Amino acid sequence: MLVYLDNSATTQPYKEVTQTVAECLAHNYGNPSSLHRMGIKAEKAVKAARKTIGDSLAVDENEIIFTSGGTESNNTAIFGAVNALKRKGNRIITSSIEHPAVLNVCKVLEEKGIDVKYLSVNDKGLIHINELEDYLNEETILISMMHVNNELGTIQPIEKIAQYKNKSEKLYFHVDGVQSYGKIDICPKSMGIDMLSFSAHKLHGPKGSGGLYLDHQIHIQPLIFGGQQEYQLRSGTENVPGIAGLGKAVELTFSDFHNRINKIREIKAYLIQGIKKEIKDIRINSYEDQRCAPHIANISFLGIRGEVLLHMLEQAEIYVSTGSACSTKKKSQSYVLKAAGLSGEEIEGAVRFSFSEFNDIEQMDYVLEHLKKNVKGIRKIMRK
Ligand SMILES: Cc1ncc(COP(=O)(O)O)c(C=O)c1O
């Protein structure tokens, strides 16, 4: 039995998405900028996806800019805001557990003289919001905050953060929604979000496709210059198959949304309860209530290396992760779990299980059986 529990890294595309992308590549290959019928057909596919995404967020479709994914959206939002506002101020506030697609942008900006402040987090990865008050000053031009942390699943208090933002006009609020879009309710207008990044491959869409919601009232500088596509904010011929695939993924995700999400939440709870019952010396690193996204559970198996367990599970065709996909190839410890103050042993033994609607209870029983056996086996070897 193949059990894919690495859905925070990427997801299996819906079969309808695969069909849409293939159909588009084969039959809708016109350039949306072309004036003839084939161009118009391609433009229509882009327009339809824009409308679907706009509707899913209750925003105007013209507030959606297509990009190559979450990384580009984060780069566009942060560099774009700083370049537009740099005469008004010099400070950015973010958190210490952002994805590298934010942290490495901040690093570049720091080298250019921007003053970046990083909010610390508690032992579950929740920001200390009171620090925001300390860091906000006249110079602050941008707050960039992830909605859901990719390693722990912790949901940050976006609406509360937005209230601080309202105190200043020249302050933009960017949210990295890559792990939250399609997993929890997001309404940028009522939540006070100015910019929201999202990515298709995290919600059963194709890789290399994503977008940025940009409120009409927010003006940023483009990152990519050329033919002035995407409201002059992201030049380059549109990735029509990728955009159509993203639109299809969003359409399916948001049909019967709450039932899909509740199913994922139940499957996750079932696995956590099973682990608690069957395996001792563990630490549940994620919140177990509504403060955690439905699809992520981070658990430490003390006395073992998560990486060893990962490879043992792989033998049984069970796929999990020890941290974010980008950081695991580098042999360093998770900076997210470090920032949450976990001990070396807890960090070493951490495994991230991330779920999707394609998982079921039968799979979880299979995972539990193999987890129990392998954790026991590894601990036995370690004791020798
Ligand atoms: C929170 C977060 N932001 C950004 C990204 C980058 O998205 P993409 O892979 O689409 O570039 C990821 C991907 O893991 C993520 O989890």
Q: pLDDT of 248-307, one tens digit each?
A: 999 999 999 999 999 999 999 999 999 999 999 999 999 999 999 999 999 999 999 999
Closest-CA residue, ligand 1 atom 5, reads: 70
Closest-CA residue, ligand 1 atom 7, reads: 70
To test the pocket of ligand 1, the residue of 67, 155, 199 to mutate (highest count of ligand atoms within 8 Å of its CB) is 199
Does the Cβ of 6 fall within 6 Å of ligand 1? no
Per-residue DSSP letter, 67: E
- Nearest to residue 156, comparing CAs of 134, 124, 182, 183? 124
CA angle 197, 200, 201 (to 5 degrees): 120
How many A from CA of 326 to the centre of ligand 1? Answer: 9
To test the pocket of ligand 1, the residue of 196, 198, 202 to mutate (highest count of ligand atoms within 8 Å of its CB) is 202
Atom of ligand 1 minimally distant from the CA of 207: 10
Q: Which residue has the tokens 């900006």?
A: 109
One fold for 3-11+257-383 and 15-253: no
- Cα of first residue to Cα of last residue in the chain, in angstroms, is 32
Domain at 15-253: CATH architecture = 3-Layer(aba) Sandwich (3.40)
Does the Cβ of 69 fall within 6 Å of ligand 1? yes
Amino acid of residue 66 = F
Does the Cβ of 76 fall within 6 Å of ligand 1? no
Does the Cβ of 323 fall within 6 Å of ligand 1? no
Closest-CA residue, ligand 1 atom 9, reads: 70
Provide the pLDDT for residue 382.
Answer: 80
Does the Cβ of 154 fall within 6 Å of ligand 1? no
Does the Cβ of 178 fall within 6 Å of ligand 1? yes
Provide the pLDDT for residue 369.
Answer: 98
pLDDT 10s digits, 132-160: 999 999 999 999 999 999 999 999 999 99
Tell me the CA distances in angstroms from 135 to 123, 154, 225, 237, one per residue in order. 21, 22, 34, 41
**Taking a C-beta distance cutoff of 8 angstroms, is the pair 281, 301 a contact?**
yes
Tens of each residue's pLDDT in the chain, 384 residues: 999 999 999 999 999 999 999 999 999 999 999 999 999 999 999 999 999 999 999 999 999 999 999 999 999 999 999 999 999 999 999 999 999 999 999 999 999 999 999 999 999 999 999 999 999 999 999 999 999 999 999 999 999 999 987 666 689 999 999 999 999 999 999 999 999 999 999 999 999 999 999 999 999 999 999 999 999 999 999 999 999 999 999 999 999 999 999 999 999 999 999 999 999 999 999 999 999 999 999 999 999 999 999 999 999 999 999 965 554 555 678 999 999 999 999 999 999 999 999 999 999 999 999 999 999 999 988 877
> Alpha-carbon distance 248 to 221, whole Å?
29
Residue 239, φ and ψ in degrees, nearest 5: -80, 80
- CA quadruple 301, 339, 187, 220: dihedral, nearest 10: -140
Does the Cβ of 132 fall within 6 Å of ligand 1? no
Token couple for 163: 């209230």
Q: How far is CA 375 from the centre of its chain?
A: 29
Atom of ligand 1 minimally distant from the CA of 199: 10
| CATH number attached to the domain at 3-11+257-383 | 3.90.1150.10
**Taking a C-beta distance cutoff of 8 angstroms, is the pair 324, 97 a contact?**
no
Does the Cβ of 150 fall within 6 Å of ligand 1? yes
Annotated catalytic residue 326: yes
**Taking a C-beta distance cutoff of 8 angstroms, is the pair 325, 10 a contact?**
yes
Per-residue DSSP letter, 66: E
Amino acid of residue 25 = L
Provide the pLDDT for residue 331.
Answer: 61
The secondary structure element, H or E, covering residue 38 is: helix 37-56
To test the pocket of ligand 1, the residue of 104, 179, 223 to mutate (highest count of ligand atoms within 8 Å of its CB) is 179
Provide the pLDDT for residue 383.
Answer: 75
Closest-CA residue, ligand 1 atom 15, reads: 178
Tell me the CA distances in angstroms from 231 to 21, 23, 65, 226, one per residue in order. 24, 26, 8, 12
> Alpha-carbon distance 350 to 307, whole Å?
8
**Taking a C-beta distance cutoff of 8 angstroms, is the pair 152, 285 a contact?**
yes
> Alpha-carbon distance 40 to 1, whole Å?
45
Atom of ligand 1 minimally distant from the CA of 10: 14
Q: What are the residues whose beta carbons fall under 8 Å from the beta carbon of 287, sequence distance 6 or more?
A: 124, 126, 152, 153, 154
Provide the pLDDT for residue 332.
Answer: 76
**Taking a C-beta distance cutoff of 8 angstroms, is the pair 356, 11 a contact?**
yes
Q: Where are the domains of the chain?
A: 3-11+257-383, 15-253
Q: Which residue has the tokens 């994503």?
A: 210
Q: Which residue has the tokens 């993203």?
A: 246
**Taking a C-beta distance cutoff of 8 angstroms, is the pair 106, 235 a contact?**
no
Amino acid of residue 377 = G
**Taking a C-beta distance cutoff of 8 angstroms, is the pair 103, 81 a contact?**
no
> Alpha-carbon distance 319 to 334, whole Å?
19
